[in-house]
Structure 1
Amino acid sequence: MAQNEKPLPDDEVRELDPRSLRGLAHPLRMRLLGALRDYGPATASQLAERLGESSGATSYHLRQLAAHGFVVDDPERGKGRERWWKSAQRGTRVGNDFHTHPDPAVRGAINTLLHEWATVHGQELSTWIGSIHTWSAEWREAADMSDFKLRLTPELAGEMRNKLHEVIESYREKEVDQDTENSARVRIHLHAFPRDEH
């Protein structure tokens, strides 16, 4: 889920509007949706165990996500009263106009959403650093944690972002099966933003 991200086909991406933004902008809802996208369908109880929450809380917030169209029932799973959920889309797209929206609730929701994404990115990076010794030398050499400083205009920064997205998206065609030896799911975080020089 990244701001202005446009690599996935439109039918696989949820474009947020003010209502759906407010529906998603809750830390637990975002974690639930992320878990369903990362690990596949699950029940409220399974998600509660994974996230360290009560099943009552996960059930409530899953219903809220369903009301906003982010998750749906998975009819191929479950027996009897056991309800399985899955993500309705692979990604989420956010526009820039929410930052200056006239409704303070919308501005608050976009701040919550972005801060929670930043928190998740930090946690994922910390997990990698904490477990780096358990990975093979090949994976340690293939991983990256770099930062760069460039002086650009907004137009050049946007052009660079688009090219980076194209490169990353080109590897979607090269993805290997889950059973491929020495394969792993790779997370790519891309942050590019201007900084005040004073």
Structure 2
Amino acid sequence: MSFTSRPERRATVSDPRALRALAHPLRLALLDYLLAFGPRTASECAEVVGSTASNCSYHLRALAKFGLVERVDAEDGRERPWQTTATGLQFGRTDDPGFRLGSDTTERFLADRQVDEEADRVHRAIAQRDDLPPAWRDASILSAYALRIAPDELRELGERLDALIRPYIALTREDAPADADVVALHLNAFRHPDAP
């Protein structure tokens, strides 16, 4: 798989209509796949997300209406691939009361879906661990920490971690070694739900 690096462009999705469009599980899976692996055709997406090429094409066009994906020129002149318009996305807060996190809302659904997808990837990675080359098996990390930290320290920690991670983002990395591959990294930091 070859990557053509792109300039970094992170985007925040806070438009309630775009958030509603992303609430469809297949659209979220397509966007996640393109963010991880770069330009892909609807047929290539279908193989990974477990759908048909025509269904993926329909949902990719729906994402394009909100400026989240776009068509790019095909290398072979056949089916044109899709790519994300940004190299990183986050879901922003919106003033629309129907989208507030923590209640039964679209924003909550998107956050829950993202956590579920991350957990699924972790389970699949653990199941495949014995089949990995030793270098990848030894480099994999599965860690959890309980920190005692103030909100401003947590914000600073997040910014420092982001600065360390950003040079390795798949869509923007220009200097990747020949043996580099796509790695899923998930960081979650929040006040422990069981804290008094």
Q: Fold-level match, TM-score > 0.5?
A: yes
- For 1:46, which of 38, 44, 61 is the aligned residue? 44
> Which digits, 9 at most, give the CA deviation of each residue in 1:159-181, with x for residues without a partner?
1111111222255678524xx14
Aligned ranges 1:9-24 → 2 under 5 Å: 12-18=9-15, 19-24=17-22
TM-score by length of 1: 0.78
Count of aligned positions: 183
Shift of 1:193: 0.8
Runs of 4+ in structure 1 over 3 Å off: 76-80, 170-175
Aligned residue type for 1:29: R
Distance 2:41 2:160 in 1: 38
Shift of 1:94: 2.8
Alignment partner, residue 138 of structure 1 = 135
Aligned ranges 1:6-155 → 2 under 5 Å: 12-18=9-15, 19-77=17-75, 79=77, 82-95=79-92, 97-98=93-94, 101-105=95-99, 108-155=105-152
Alignment partner, residue 3 of structure 2 = none
Q: Which secondary structure state, in structure 2, belongs to the residue aligned with residue 42 of structure 1?
A: coil
Q: Which secondary structure state, in structure 1, belongs to the residue aligned with residue 149 of structure 2?
A: coil
1:47–1:58 Cα contact (<8 Å) kept: yes
Aligned residue type for 1:121: E
Shift of 1:59: 2.1
Compared CA separation, residues 161 and 12, structure 1 to 2 (3 A): same
Compared CA separation, residues 89 and 171, structure 1 to 2 (3 A): closer
Q: Return the structure number with greater helix share.
A: 1
User: Does 2:171 correspond to 1:167?
Assistant: no
Aligned residue type for 2:98: P
Where in structure 1 are there 5+ consecutive unaligned residues? 1-7
Distance 2:176 2:43 in 1: 31
Aligned residue type for 2:18: S
